[in-house]
Structure 1
Amino acid sequence: MAFPTPRAFLPLRHATFRTLWLATLASNIGMWVQNTGAGWLMTSLDPSPMMVSLVQAASMLPVFLLALPSGALADIVDRRLFLLGAQAWILLMALILAALTATGELGPWGLLALTFAIGAGSAMNFPAWAATTNELVPREDLVGAIALNGIGFNLARALGPALGGFAIAAAGPEAAFALNAVAFLVLIVALLFWRRPPEPRGRSPKERLVPAMRAGLRFVQGSPAMQAAILRACTFFLFSAAVWGLLPLLVRQRLGLGPEAFGLMLGVMGGSAVAAGFALPALRARLDRSATVLWASLAICLAMAILAAATHWLPAALGMLIYGAAWISAGSTLSASAQLAAPGWVRARAIAIYQLSFFGVMAGGSALAGWVGGRFGVPWALGAAAAGGAVAAILVRGWRIDAVASASPEASPARPPTPEAPAAELQALLGERSGRVLEEVRYCIDPAERAPFLAAMQEVRRVRLRSGAVSWRLYEDVAHPERWVELWAVESWTEHLREEARRTDWDRAALARAAAFHRVDGPPEASRFINVVP
């Protein structure tokens, strides 16, 4: 009798996704082996709470610094080659770290520097890999693939720290760093065998790095769903990061245990996260995304409170069990919300900004917990994080992350305005160096419909910003209240040509709803102007 495949495993039907998922699992295991080795090595090189917590901060800070340019590059260059370059960098840094540790030449600041360098490679990798998921599976398997990525990450968290703890006990931290290098070599081989389909012809010209970064920021500025995901992620990870910074000291000093116990504690957390990942589909059937994140936030605060009070390994293990389940529940839900909120043209940049935000607060939260732990003790630091996290979770619960729906947008009988074609004698002025382009749409509405028209235009404003506008204004004729002018500017004619390609069906529906208020036959009048004065 054949048993149906669990829903969580359905994306593995796709061979390329399966291969890269398994290789990424190996590299994530290696990364957790590396993090375990670095954290434990620092307790020997410099056991102060601040220095130990800075190991975690050094691994997360590069994401804060490099995520946005990394995401922009991942959107505008060949993503496969970009991923290969990131893995090669991590492999090189891991080999250097292993060699210096084996020869006894590594000091505490050298450990932080190389941890930062490996984190820089991870910062290049994260947004590109997240955005690649959409290329590897069809849309009906996308949410499952995102969840499966989270399960794989936490499976690595369950196996990696335990493997790292035993490697340290058997052969020292240099063995953990060497294992990390081998794991990333596996991912490099898998990427070499991936044959990414060529990009479709007829696309807009390739973007340059700095304008691409600005376009990503403007998209997030105009996306309430993305803003809500970022805010909820920041409040969750800021306080929960205390465990990552202080766990080595909690195990070594307060519980009086060795590296094997440290690895096993992280393994308990990772195993719990994997189990919770499989249970998430049933949980989401009962709770929406916003409620899932709220309850997971409160659960992780309970876990930190248990860790703060623990003086024996058993309650500490219980705290890590709850911590792991809460971490995957909130983390994968927030990540799925961020990915679903971003269309393909900007996905890597939007994910990068999301990751920049929460990795930045994780680095800050870990360092802050280390400072509090150094002044008042590890239990007080964990207790303060638990209390602060619970208050913050309740304060931001009104920011909904369920705004992105999978249903078709509401249709409108109106047609968005279309401007006339450019005059032939001006064609030579139009291109990447045209200067700013001012776009205009004129509406004639019933003054009695002023309030709903303004509400519709608020969504139009967000559409323009998401599509690349650097400014947007709406003006009302003081002598004729039925007349309105919408003005927005983009950086160049090429950016203007990209606007339509960047719009989703939801964006086009929002523009059509605004056009429906126009009370003159035909669509609103649209015009475009170029800046001819240098």
Structure 2
Amino acid sequence: MRRRLTRQQRTTFLLASGLSTAGSFAGLTAKGWLLMHGSSNPLLLALHFALLTLPTLVVSGPAGVLTDRLGSERVLVRAQWGLFAAAVLGAIAIPISTGATQAALLLLSTLGIGTASAYELTARNKYVALLVETPEQLGPYLTSFSVIFNVGKLVGPPLGGLLLAATGPTLALALDAATYLLPISTLLWLMAPHSEREQRSQRGEAASLATAWRECGPGLRHVLVFTAVACLVGFFHPGLAPLMASRLLGPSPQELGVFTSVVAAGSICGGVLLQRRANLLGERPGLLLGLATLVTGVAQVGLALPWSPQWGLAMAFLIGAGTACLLAGTNLLIQVHAPQRLRGRMAGLGQIAFLGGGGLSGLMAAGLTLQAGFSACFALLGSLGAALGVWQLLQRRRLRLEARFTVG
């Protein structure tokens, strides 16, 4: 009976997270289109994505420490309320402001979402281990969140585009805010995790981020460093998605929705592949991270070629698949192979690696686009990413992470 109840909880929490994600991407699509429509400046678009991701460089470390000290459930609930408040700010910015003031409020809303998301993702990664019965269930369940996240990314942008075209941006941003209430109500009233299994840290040096870095082992340290470098080189497409869609398909919000949905479809396929091979690939970080980085880099080089829109969408699909495997794969590796008492801080270090690197990557790519043009930027950064993936496959293909820790 307990096992059946836990399985239902896992499904319920996963679905609530997916619905919230769909609303979030509807809101982000609306904000991106508004900023693009108002300025046509790629740096402003990159700043929008950077404000969503760069807070992780400052916040994820303290979020991991707090999660390991206070407990994942308490931090997770508080983070969801923070996400709701920040999304409400974006919704009310439309009717109460215009021009530069409206843009500033939208960016402030995104900054709030990025900050709260760092706490939410860190706490959730540790929390899901309290919903599984055996260590073998943890990897597939963790990667299920990548799949459901990308399903939301597939559904959300066209929904946001349709709402923009039919009713304007206010409804899209209001939907974003409302969907955060779903995981909040689920956590407060429907979940009964194995809280007794959670291992917490005490105050002091033993609870620090530096201690987690030292104690996680050389294999996981390599995973974090490689992911940070790979994201710095190749994880810039979310910030430039409106510009990429405008170049390939056209400037309308519906076409932006189509482009981001194709990227999401690739992410779903990559996530499903990773989920089905989670236990196998989770032991071979060199193969997993090298292939993901290589596919992403080659696709970015392909996107630089002046061919048809269909070709561009095919490359966007591969970019989605490669980056999904890179990010979800990193999360899989550092959670499954880290001791339970370190998992909050390891989740924080993982976010610093891929979201912090991605935010800087977007700003760098925007600057290169302004200086050298769209095609030159994608060709240069894609080539660097492909070379990095080949190096990882050649140098680290034999690296294995054999040790497994219990879920509790």
TM over 0.5: yes
Higher mean C-alpha deviation, range 235-244 or range 146-155: 235-244
CA separation of 1:101 and 1:71: change in aligned 2, threshold 3 A? same
1:268 aligned residue (262, 278, 281)? 262
- Residue 90 (structure 1) aligns with: 83
Q: Distance in 2 between matches of 1:11 and 1:199?
A: 19
Letter matched to residue 52 of structure 2 = S
- Residue 166 (structure 1) aligns with: 162
2:117 aligned residue (114, 122, 143)? 122
Question: Cα distance, 1:124 vs. partner?
Answer: 0.9
Q: Is the 8 A contact 2:287 2:396 kept in 1?
A: no
Q: Distance in 2 between matches of 1:12 and 1:163?
A: 33
Letter matched to residue 108 of structure 1 = A
Task: Report which structure shows greater RCO (CA 8 Å, sep ≥6).
Answer: 2
Question: Cα distance, 1:359 vs. partner?
Answer: 1.3
CA separation of 1:190 and 1:212: change in aligned 2, threshold 3 A? farther
User: In proportion to residue count, which structure has more helix?
Assistant: 2
1:40 aligns to 2:33 (yes or no):
yes
1:405 aligns to 2:398 (yes or no):
no
- Residue 14 (structure 1) aligns with: 7
The aligned runs of 1:123-162 (5 Å cut-off) are 123-138=118-133, 139-162=135-158
Q: Is the 8 A contact 2:93 2:102 kept in 1?
A: no
Q: Distance in 1 between matches of 2:379 and 2:168?
A: 33
Radius of gyration: which is bigger?
1
The aligned runs of 1:41-440 (5 Å cut-off) are 41-105=34-98, 106-138=101-133, 139-193=135-189, 194-199=191-196, 207-208=202-203, 211=205, 214=208, 216-222=209-215, 223-253=217-247, 255-280=249-274, 281=276, 288-310=284-306, 312-397=308-393, 398-399=395-396, 402-406=399-403
CA separation of 1:400 and 1:338: change in aligned 2, threshold 3 A? farther
Q: Is the 8 A contact 1:243 1:304 kept in 2?
A: no
Q: Is the 8 A contact 2:131 2:193 kept in 1?
A: no
Letter matched to residue 223 of structure 2 = A
Q: Residue deviations 1:146-183, cap 9 Å, x none? A: 12111111111111122122122222222221111111
Aligned residues: 396
Letter matched to residue 378 of structure 1 = F
Letter matched to residue 48 of structure 2 = V
Question: Cα distance, 1:142 vs. partner?
Answer: 0.8
Q: Is the 8 A contact 1:242 1:382 kept in 2?
A: no
Unaligned residue ranges in structure 2 (runs of 5+): none
Q: Distance in 2 between matches of 1:354 and 1:279?
A: 21
Question: Cα distance, 1:238 vs. partner?
Answer: 1.6
Q: Residue deviations 1:357-380, cap 9 Å, x none? A: 221111110000011111122222
CA separation of 1:293 and 1:197: change in aligned 2, threshold 3 A? closer
Question: Cα distance, 1:78 vs. partner?
Answer: 3.6
Q: Residue deviations 1:261-295, cap 9 Å, x none? A: 11111111212222233333369869944223212
Question: Cα distance, 1:399 vs. partner?
Answer: 4.4
Q: Is the 8 A contact 2:52 2:114 kept in 1?
A: yes
Question: Cα distance, 1:191 vs. partner?
Answer: 0.8
Question: Cα distance, 1:405 vs. partner?
Answer: 1.5
User: In proportion to residue count, which structure has more strand?
Assistant: 1
Q: Is the 8 A contact 1:297 1:389 kept in 2?
A: yes
CA separation of 1:346 and 1:406: change in aligned 2, threshold 3 A? closer
Question: Cα distance, 1:253 vs. partner?
Answer: 4.4
Q: Distance in 1 between matches of 2:293 and 2:332?
A: 17
Q: Residue deviations 1:80-131, cap 9 Å, x none? A: 2221111111111111211111333443333222211111110110110011
Q: Is the 8 A contact 1:307 1:319 kept in 2?
A: yes
Identity %: 23
Unaligned residue ranges in structure 1 (runs of 5+): 1-9, 408-503, 506-534
Question: Cα distance, 1:13 vs. partner?
Answer: 7.0
RMSD: 2.6
